[in-house]
């Protein structure tokens, strides 16, 4: 991560905002927006409270940066999904599901989702950003793929948008479960296994 040749423990100023956002992401994810304290964020970022205000004007601005920054990496995956070469439909769906399960397992998607869901009423703009920039395109792409398969006769009749929701829902629920109930000792779900069984079952039901 650090540029080669830079002293290892000399933090570059340019990294500060990202470090703050990263720390803020953790704290917001754990406590929610209102319950998160600037003190905590500063401590976790290893900076003073005052330093945060060199980069962000208000607590809200930090939150916006966190949630908006959560959109970006997923957008790339979305592009990859759209560009997937469409072999046959079942394999495409399997590939998509596997990719999403991997993404869900390796990124802090759960924290982001909690924030967006929990603070949508207080920060409608954030909900809008997520809806417009990520969810609608992703759902739209998946819906289009399904509709195309229907047109080719590879998928049973039915609302393709609902098929898309059917497909991804267990992943979302699994991620939420991980954030909500696993910390209190609940039995966790294996996301990959869940999605594999789910997709196989759904596929058997979707193909004619």
- Residue 75 binding target from DNA, a second copy, none, CB below 5 to 8 Å by type: none
**Contact call for residue 121 and DNA (CB under 7 A):** no
- Residue 178 binding target from DNA, a second copy, none, CB below 5 to 8 Å by type: none
The pair phi, psi for residue 117, each rounded to 5°, is: -65, -45
- Nearest approach, Cβ of 48 to DNA (angstroms)? 3
**Contact call for residue 16 and DNA (CB under 7 A):** yes
Give the x/- contact pattern for DNA in 44-83, rule: CB under 7 A. Answer: ---xxxxx-xx--xxxx-----------------------
Decide whether 18 or 31 has the Cβ nearer to a second copy: 31
Q: Under rule CB under 8 A, which residues in 13-52 are in contact with a second copy?
A: 30-35
- Nearest approach, Cβ of 190 to DNA (angstroms)? 37
Q: Are 45 and 62 in contact (CB under 8 A)?
A: no
Give the x/- contact pattern for a second copy in 95-124, rule: CB under 8 A. Answer: -------------------x-xxxxxxx-x
Q: For residue 191, how far is the Cα from the chain centroid?
A: 14
Spell out the alpha helix ranges (H) of 107-135: 109-119, 124-130
Q: Are 107 and 25 in contact (CB under 8 A)?
A: no
Report long-range pairs for 89-95 (Cβ below 8 Å, ≥24 apart).
89/145, 89/149, 89/152, 89/154, 89/155, 89/207, 90/203, 90/207, 92/145, 93/167, 93/199, 93/203, 94/199, 94/203
**Contact call for residue 188 and a second copy (CB under 8 A):** no
**Contact call for residue 91 and a second copy (CB under 8 A):** no
- Provide the 10 A C-beta neighbour count for residue 33: 20
- Residue 203 binding target from DNA, a second copy, none, CB below 5 to 8 Å by type: a second copy
- Nearest approach, Cβ of 46 to DNA (angstroms)? 7
- Nearest approach, Cβ of 37 to DNA (angstroms)? 4
Which one of 62-70, 88-96, 145-153, 167-175 is the stretch in contact with a second copy (CB under 8 A)?
167-175
Spell out the alpha helix ranges (H) of the chain: 16-31, 38-45, 49-55, 59-83, 89-106, 109-119, 124-130, 136-151, 160-180, 191-206
Task: Give the binding site for DNA (CB under 7 A).
Answer: 7-13, 16, 35-39, 47-51, 53-54, 57-60
């Amino acid at each position: 991560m650090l540029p080669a040749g830079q002293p290892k423990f000399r933090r570059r100023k340019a990294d500060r905002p990202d470090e703050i956002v990263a720390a803020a992401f953790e704290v917001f994810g754990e406590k929610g927006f209102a319950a998160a304290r600037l003190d905590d964020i500063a401590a976790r970022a290893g900076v003073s409270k005052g330093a945060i205000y060199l980069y962000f004007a208000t607590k809200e601005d930090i939150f916006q940066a966190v949630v908006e920054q959560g959109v970006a990496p997923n957008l790339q995956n979305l592009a990859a999904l759209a560009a997937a070469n469409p072999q046959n439909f079942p394999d495409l769906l399997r590939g998509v599901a596997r990719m999403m399960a991997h993404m869900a397992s390796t990124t802090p998607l759960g924290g982001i989702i909690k924030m967006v869901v929990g603070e949508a009423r207080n920060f409608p703009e954030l909900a809008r950003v997520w809806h417009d920039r990520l969810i609608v395109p992703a759902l739209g792409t998946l819906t289009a793929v399904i509709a195309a398969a229907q047109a080719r006769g590879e998928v049973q009749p039915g609302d393709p948008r609902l098929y898309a929701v059917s497909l991804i829902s267990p992943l979302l629920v699994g991620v939420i479960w991980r954030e909500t109930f696993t910390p209190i000792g609940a039995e966790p779900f294996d996301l990959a296994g869940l999605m594999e069984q789910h997709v196989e079952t759904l596929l058997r039901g979707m193909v004619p």
